[in-house]
Amino acid sequence: MPAKRKFRPVIDETPPSSASIRGRGASWSPANRFEKLHVDLTDVDCVDLDPATEEQPRRATQYFRDGTKSIITRNSSPDVGFETSLNPYRGCEHGCIYCYARPTHEYLGFSAGLDFESKIMVKMNAPELLRAELESPSWQSQTLVMSGVTDPYQPIERKLRITRGCLEVLVKFRNPVAIITKNHLVTRDVDLLCELAKHNAVAVNLSVTSLDPNLQQVLEPRTTSPQGRLDAIKQLRAAKIPIGVMVAPIIPGLTDYEVPKILDAAAKAGAQFAGYTIIRLPWAVAPLFEHWLEEHFPDRKEKVLGRIRDMRGNRLNNSQWHSRMTGEGVFAEQIASLFRVGCRRAGIGERPVLSTASFRKSTTQLRLKL
């Protein structure tokens, strides 16, 4: 007999007073903005608990097959730096509380809160779909970003190996790829990355938000430790794979002071290039982040939110092109200056331009020599 569903009106979006869940970034599920009713079988905010005396129930991660018929995503955003991307997973178990991708789960009927990090859609046929799209006469070789939304090396990748399968296809076609991850697991695929590096067709970016492991554990609960990420940079550089660091996202009033330290540590580990973004809080991410601050840093909450508003036109989020990634105003300018000076002192250079010159289709017939 199916479990009885719990229904909650959309207007009831009050988060629990104080109830963080070990191993999760979010501690509740705000209502889906597209749904008239908020439906969830196991939301902790639907469970009658006294957070002062009882421990929140843990939520097990569930995995669902994604029946997508295409795998390459195209975008026309003028400020993201790429046109095509590849996402083997939808949702991300890393559970980063600030993740701007959380609202994408609402398109699936899920919540941007706990659902995003505990109900993961997996594209089991991603390598096959990728092979078909690269074989298509319409495909003109260009750099694919893996991923543009969620991490391609989240924990389940160790078992499912979907990202590795996609890399095997990219190696076959010699199509360039830029990887962004927070997980040391990327070093597992060093053999494939080396093959792509021979053709100047790969660059890897390790995202480092903080060097403080205590902060990392509550900010990004299921990611690799800061030291583990630096070790991944070291290993990839030793393998002669172009490697950089993404200082992202920078959270003013919480992690901004770490920017020079992160750049210095990454450079010493072998990082050759760097980038940064300022925290973005679209849609449900804003109340989730506010509640997270109240749970973990109540003394800094108003300072952090105040500085974010200062950089976002007195709002928590501003989706305006070209400023949404870096913010505006005096604090944004200070962070930009801090980043530039940090890169110069650490000896970090420009990002590499990847090449499509070696791209080949497996169906291309060899010409006979006369």
Contact, 336 vs 287, CB < 8 A? Answer: no
pLDDT for position 38? 56
pLDDT for position 9? 37
Domain for residue 12, yes or no?
A: no
Above pLDDT 90, what percent of the chain? 80
Domain for residue 293, yes or no?
A: no
Name the stretches of the chain with pLDDT < 70. 1-19, 38-57, 363-370
Domain for residue 129, yes or no?
A: yes
Locate all alpha helices (DSSP H) within 141-225, ordered by sequence: 157-160, 162-173, 190-197, 213-219
List the domain range (segments joined by +) for residue 119: 37-42+58-277
pLDDT for position 80? 87
Domain for residue 107, yes or no?
A: yes
pLDDT for position 11? 34
pLDDT for position 81? 85
pLDDT for position 44? 46
What CATH number does residue 98 fall under? Answer: 3.20.20
Domain for residue 140, yes or no?
A: yes
16-26 pLDDT, tens digit each:
655 688 889 99
Burial class (CB in 10 A: 0-12, 13-18, 19+), 4: exposed
Sign of the C-alpha dihedral computed for residues 289, 290, 295 and 297 taken in this order:
positive
pLDDT for position 364? 55
Contact, 290 vs 305, CB < 8 A? Answer: yes
Domain for residue 318, yes or no?
A: no
What does DSSP assign to residue 349? B
Nearest to 93 by CA among 57, 124, 63: 63
Number of domains in the chain: 1
Domain for residue 51, yes or no?
A: no
38-56 pLDDT, tens digit each:
555 445 444 444 445 455 5
pLDDT for position 235? 98
Amino acid at 310: D
Chain centroid to Cα 141, Å, comes to 24
pLDDT for position 34? 87
Angle between helices 226-238 and 190-197 (to 10 degrees): 50
Instruction: Using DSSP bridges, classify how beta strands 144-146 and 84-86 pair: parallel, antiparallel or unpaired.
Output: parallel
Beta bridge partners of 349: 273
Q: How far apart are CA 331 and CA 205, in angstroms?
A: 25
Tokens of 63: 């995995």
Q: State the pTM of this model.
A: 0.89
Domain for residue 169, yes or no?
A: yes
Tokens of 118: 């505990």
